[in-house]
Chains A and B, each alone.
Chain A
Amino acid sequence: MKKTSVLGKIYVGLIVAFLQLPILCLIVYSFNESKSRAVWQGFSLKWYQALFQDSEMITSLGTTLLCAFLAAIISTIIATVAAIGMNSMRRFTSTSIMTVAYIPMLNADIVTGVSLLILFTMLKMELGFATLLLSHITFCIPYVLFSVMPKIRQFDYSKFEAALDLGATPGLAMRKIMIPDIMPGIVSGFFMALTLSIDDFIVSFFTTGNGVQNLSIKIYTMAKRGISPTINALSTIMYLVILAILLYTNLRSMNQDKQKNRKGTN
């Protein structure tokens, strides 16, 4: 690996700064005493207090997290199991399934959203958490599938068969041999699903109702109503939590790599 040139570093730095800039502004504003973002009236934590007292906001945060985790877990299970099954299918069948799975990835969110809305309406399902979750699982499945599939293609089936020959049940062989091997694909698919679900607005917009709001929808209605400093406080907390999680996981994996390298050199 080469050292990055100074010019390159400056360019990357500028782009990264551009991406952080608006969020950093929100963070500064979140400590502003005044409601108006125009004037600085002194340091205050009152918007944080207001945020924690805003039960609707807390509920919508809960809805977002619950929906994201459930959608990520369920879609990961469904897609991983399917990926394992598809590997032993005839090429034509598995390609057809892949093509259908590719549709939600290629299709515009708005089309996915309205088509599900009409489906739920025709089935006389009441819009709410259940419909929200079903929709999120639907658009998460392909991302998990496409991140697990390559790992399964790379998986060496002779290892699996060896385990069977040594008397392992297919279930045990799968748990002990196959799953650990394809784990990186499962994990990255899971996180992809999680990110997409937390980030989604458009599909949620069409498929939820009856008072069930996730964070995106809550912010949308608030943003249409003018600037509210409680959103700034929320952004700050989210930014810091995410930063902490990312730092933690990255530092850990870096440390593990170092330890591995050390072992390797010995």
Chain B
Amino acid sequence: MRKLMTLVLALLMIAGAAMGLAGCKDESKIVRVYNWGDYIDPDVTKDFEKETGYTVRYEMYETNEDLYTKLANSNASYDVIFPSDYMIERMVAEDMLAKIDMSHIENLKYIDKEFLSLGYDPNNEYSVPYMWGTLGILYNTKMVDGEIDSWSALWDEKYAGSIIMMYSQRDAIGAALKSLGYSLNSMDDQELQQAKDLLIEQSPLVLGYFMDETKDKMIAGEAALALVYAGDAVYCIDYNEDLTYIIPKEGSNIFYDAMCVPKNCKNMEGAEAFINFMCRPDIAARNADYIGYSSPSTAAREQMEDGNNPYAYPDLSKYKLEIFSTMGEKNKLYDVIWTEVLAKVGE
């Protein structure tokens, strides 16, 4: 018995030591970063820690809605977050973001002017652009007949069991709205109802509803088509040459993900240092090369290995692209539609 207790205590001490290494750091030296899954080159955070002496505590979320819920309801506090355009708009409207003193973000000068002061942050007070991209279809040319150019492919019975949908409400509903020829930001109850029916109709054809898992599955050839962000498509095509990416002819979404600081942040200085570091061209280049998304910095693109990837940097004038905007009172309706779609999926 005594021996067992000794064993237990020894294990406890080891655990304590491991925690101590992580826990006993000066709070003002910790930057809490909450980012999308697979949305940074992990070596970059290590370099940031080395160069500045800060410790990064890193957590990941899957969708904008996850991020919103976490910030709005629980007493979580983060220093840097990476919401997209429409979510920034919503968070600003709900007074959840702190203003950033842009004079402290020296490297902001490397970000192209066309990405600053967009509709979601017209005075450029709350956000610093991180990446941008388009929404489209990634498909395996060996598993699909001919070329695909329309959203209708995601509803094609030929590919039953071989379609991956996004586990993200704005994107999934957006794809359905677009394929019906409506705006991505439709507030019309009837149009939204049609989009919902379309998604339910699609469900028997769908292999699964995923976010980050999609990449692995497409690379392994587990499915023929997937609704993806361009950046993930670039990553997958890198590993599997049979894959290709298109922006459907009916039009699609263009998104901007930016770095923001929540109101309840505890370390503004650290947050600014982190954001500034991410804007440095060599760092931005490494991130963009690693994750495959499109960088808003020409200076960074010049240093990238793959700075002119046709999927990441398409000729935007050729496509009908729309930005998501926040839905205001209809946010709730989107939640209800998405909950119902996913509840009906199993029938």
**A210 in complex: contacting residue of B15, B21, B32, CB < 8 Å:** B32
Q: How close is A253's CB to chain B, nearest CB, in angstroms? A: 10
Contact A56 B58 (CB under 8 A): yes
Q: How close is A1's CB to chain B, nearest CB, in angstroms? A: 27
Residue B60 at the chain A interface, CB threshold 8 Å: yes
Contact B213 A224 (CB under 8 A): yes
Cα A109 to Cα B129 in complex, Å, equals: 40
Count chain B residues whose beta carbon lies closer than 8 angstroms to a beta carbon of A.
36
Chain A residues with CB under 8 Å of B212's CB are: 224-226
Contact B74 A117 (CB under 8 A): yes
Contact B76 A62 (CB under 8 A): no
Cα A208 to Cα B113 in complex, Å, equals: 40
Contact A225 B18 (CB under 8 A): no
Chain B residues with CB under 8 Å of A56's CB are: 58
Residue B250 at the chain A interface, CB threshold 8 Å: no
Cα A143 to Cα B22 in complex, Å, equals: 31
Residue B317 at the chain A interface, CB threshold 8 Å: no
Interface string of B161-196 (1 = CB under 8 A from A): 000000000000000000000000000000000000
Chain B residues with CB under 8 Å of A5's CB are: none
Chain B residue, CB-CB nearest to A54 = B42
Which of A18-26, A89-97, A120-128 is the interface stretch? A120-128
Interface of A is mostly: helix
Chain A residues with CB under 8 Å of B60's CB are: 221
Chain A residues with CB under 8 Å of B4's CB are: 187, 249
Chain A residues with CB under 8 Å of B15's CB are: 62, 65-66, 69
A36, A59, A62, A249 — most chain B CB neighbours (10 Å): A62
Chain A residues with CB under 8 Å of B213's CB are: 224-226
Residue A150 at the chain B interface, CB threshold 8 Å: no
Residue A58 at the chain B interface, CB threshold 8 Å: yes
Cα A59 to Cα B18 in complex, Å, equals: 6
Contact B19 A63 (CB under 8 A): yes
Q: How close is A10's CB to chain B, nearest CB, in angstroms? A: 35
Instruction: Report the 5 A-B pairs with minimum CB-CB distance, sorted nearest first.
Output: A62-B18, A226-B216, A65-B15, A211-B57, A66-B15
List residues of B whose CB falls within 8 A of some A CB. 1, 4, 8, 11-12, 14-19, 21-22, 32, 37-38, 57-60, 62, 70, 73-78, 210-213, 215-217, 220
